[in-house]
Chain A
Amino acid sequence: MPYLLELAIILMFCLAGNFISSWWLPFIPGNILSMLLLFFFLAFRLLKIERIQNIAWFLLRNMPFFFIAVTTGIVETYAIVSSQILDLLLIAVISTIITLAVTGWTTQFIVGLQAKRRIKRGNSI
């Protein structure tokens, strides 16, 4: 019984997110809105995590399974990909390295700045 109630609550959030997206915020994907909605309900204690945790963790733990049908769909689009598969891989790899570098350097700079301010504040006291 509680499992079905948990599923019902989660599904209602999905429905609400997609409803809001299609009526008022068409530029934000519906499922992302559902997620934000659920997050705010949890963060502001409007919904206790216990009310949904069993089904939620079942979905989270088995998450990759739910991508299997979408991914197998690659057989239908193979003609579009086949000629540029190497380009796709190359761009993915180069972009991942650039992203890692820029994120790492930016964050390292911020952390260094914070540490410096902390030391300064410590000296002035």
Chain B
Amino acid sequence: METVFSSPLFGLTVFVMTYHFGAKVYQKWPYPFLNPLLIAVLFLISVIIFTPLDYSHLKAGGDIINLFLAPVTAVLAIPMYEQLPKLTRNILPVLIGCMAGSLTGLLSVFALAKLFNMNWILTASLLPKSITTPMGIELSIYLGGIPAITVLMIILTGLFGATFSASLCRVLKIKDPIAQGIAIGSSSHALGTTKAMEMGDVQGALSSISIAMTGLFTVFWAVLLTFFGLLG
């Protein structure tokens, strides 16, 4: 019996079923905070806490899923490729906006973490919070963080963006639709982009272009700053 529960097949089945359940819940009540991944993970955490099922039972199945993080990251090239015409039309605002956004994202987390006396593991886990998850996991590992914390922070940042970015744009007097789109995409990735799409076509398009661009620039800055010993 014990061998069945610790076989990769068991973990894989549990993960697939749980995510399907999360997706169904979101389908029924499509509110951003009922995010499928968040529901699935919260469900699994409570199962692990309240039942004899342990994380070690799921680990072997989880490793199989984690293997797919490589192709999932690679295929991010496809939306980027398909947005190429829109990108070339707005090349200057997108490049400069995302460069500024990614650097601000990193430095603000770094400075605030110093202020809060946060240790490096947590700081490194938090640094990629504004970028798309597969790139964030990669950067978190690169900087010496814990990917699990990174993913949760990325989701929460995205939820914050999806809920408040329209009002923030209003309060901060960001009125230009191009600027709104780039600001939302580079501060709260794909989840924030759902809000940008509600705000308008221009905002939605620019926001989704900014996701991959901000991810790449964030990795670029992080590599550069680490190389010169400024990060860490």
Min C-beta distance of B79 to chain A, whole Å: 7
Min C-beta distance of B62 to chain A, whole Å: 3
- How many chain A residues touch B (CB < 8 A): the figure is 73
Q: Are A81 and B62 in contact (CB under 8 A)?
A: no
Q: Are B97 and A107 in contact (CB under 8 A)?
A: yes
Specify which of B16, B74, B93 is in contact with A38 (CB 8 Å cutoff). Answer: B74
Residues of A within 8 A of B147 (CB): 70, 73
**B-side binding surface: helix, strand, loop or mixed?**
helix
**Per-residue A-contact encoding for B11-54, CB less than 8 Å = 1, 0 else:** 10001101100000000000000011100110011001100000
Specify which of B75, B97, B216 is in contact with A103 (CB 8 Å cutoff). Answer: B97
With most chain B CB atoms within 10 A of its CB, the pick from A11, A32, A38, A76 is A32
Q: Are A91 and B112 in contact (CB under 8 A)?
A: yes
Tell me, in angstroms, the Cα distance from A40 to B146 when the chains sit together.
Answer: 30
The verdict on A122 contacting chain B, using a C-beta distance below 8 Å, is no
Interface residues of B in 86-104 (CB under 8 A from A): 92-93, 96-98, 100-101, 104
Interface residues on B, range: 35 or more
Q: Are B182 and A104 in contact (CB under 8 A)?
A: yes
Q: Are B104 and A103 in contact (CB under 8 A)?
A: yes
Q: Are A72 and B74 in contact (CB under 8 A)?
A: no
Min C-beta distance of B211 to chain A, whole Å: 12
Q: Are A77 and B149 in contact (CB under 8 A)?
A: yes
Residues of A within 8 A of B186 (CB): 99, 103
Q: Are A10 and B75 in contact (CB under 8 A)?
A: yes
Q: Are A69 and B63 in contact (CB under 8 A)?
A: yes
Q: Are A39 and B187 in contact (CB under 8 A)?
A: no
Tell me, in angstroms, the Cα distance from A76 to B37 when the chains sit together.
Answer: 18
Q: Are B61 and A95 in contact (CB under 8 A)?
A: no
Residues of A within 8 A of B (CB): 7, 10-11, 13-14, 17-18, 27-32, 34-39, 42-43, 49, 52-53, 55-57, 59-60, 63-77, 80-81, 84, 87-108, 110-112, 114
- 11 new A-B contacts at CB < 8 Å, known A68-B62, A99-B187: A13-B74, A29-B219, A59-B71, A60-B75, A66-B66, A70-B69, A72-B58, A93-B160, A95-B108, A96-B188, A104-B174
Contacts A/B (CB < 8 Å), 11 sampled: A67-B137, A68-B40, A70-B148, A71-B151, A77-B148, A80-B121, A88-B122, A96-B130, A101-B174, A103-B182, A106-B96
